[in-house]
Amino acid sequence: MSNCRSSVTPKWFGFAIQALVLLSTTEGVTPSKAIARHIRSGVSFMRRIMAPLVKENIVEAREGRDGGYLLARSPEDITLKEVYLALQMTEPLSTALIESTSDCTSGRVMNNVFTEFALEAESNLLGFLCNYTLADFVKRANHKTIEML
């Protein structure tokens, strides 16, 4: 695994969704600086977020003077599950507990139970995210914006 993904956190998912919403509501190629401004980050950080999305064919990158990013597919064809998996953390939640050295049996039991819960939680999250597309997210965000006005 490359070093650039070693600092991936759950916040990256939120940043990626914000960037994808911008791309879905913008005509043509969106420059890196515009996306960075939108997600309130530096251009370098934004590019680190976009790289796995490009690799997974969610986003297309264009090089050159008029370069930037655009969606590789329509928002209706991009599930939130795909985005989440593209940005997968370097270690799954199930590795969060470390076996206790003071009581090996108790530590193993605790780790096994936590792993079961973490795997079930991840499965439920993925099941939820596969039911929604980027277009669904944009529609809900637009509805909430109207409610707030």
Q: Which distant-in-sequence residues (6+ apart) come within 8 Å of 25 by Cβ?
A: 138
In which region does residue 91 sit, left (phi positive, over 0), alpha (psi from -120 to 50) or beta (all else)?
beta
- Two tokens at 23? 């791309």
Look up the pTM and report it: 0.79
At 26-57, the pLDDT tens digits run 999 999 999 999 999 999 999 999 999 999 99
CA distance 83 to 133: 10
Whether the pLDDT of residue 135 is over 90: the answer is: yes
C-beta of residue 78 within 8 angstroms of C-beta of residue 133: yes
Whether the pLDDT of residue 134 is over 90: the answer is: yes
**The pLDDT value given to residue 22:** 95
C-beta of residue 79 within 8 angstroms of C-beta of residue 133: yes
**The pLDDT value given to residue 110:** 77
Query: What structural domains and CATH numbers belong to the chain?
Result: 3-148 (1.10.10.10)
**The pLDDT value given to residue 44:** 94
**The pLDDT value given to residue 103:** 60
Q: Which distant-in-sequence residues (6+ apart) come within 8 Å of 50 by Cβ?
A: 16, 19, 35, 59, 61, 69
CA distance 96 to 118: 9
Q: Which distant-in-sequence residues (6+ apart) come within 8 Å of 69 by Cβ?
A: 19, 23, 29, 30, 32, 35, 50, 54, 59, 60, 61, 62
At 62-95, the pLDDT tens digits run 998 889 999 999 999 999 999 999 987 555 565 5
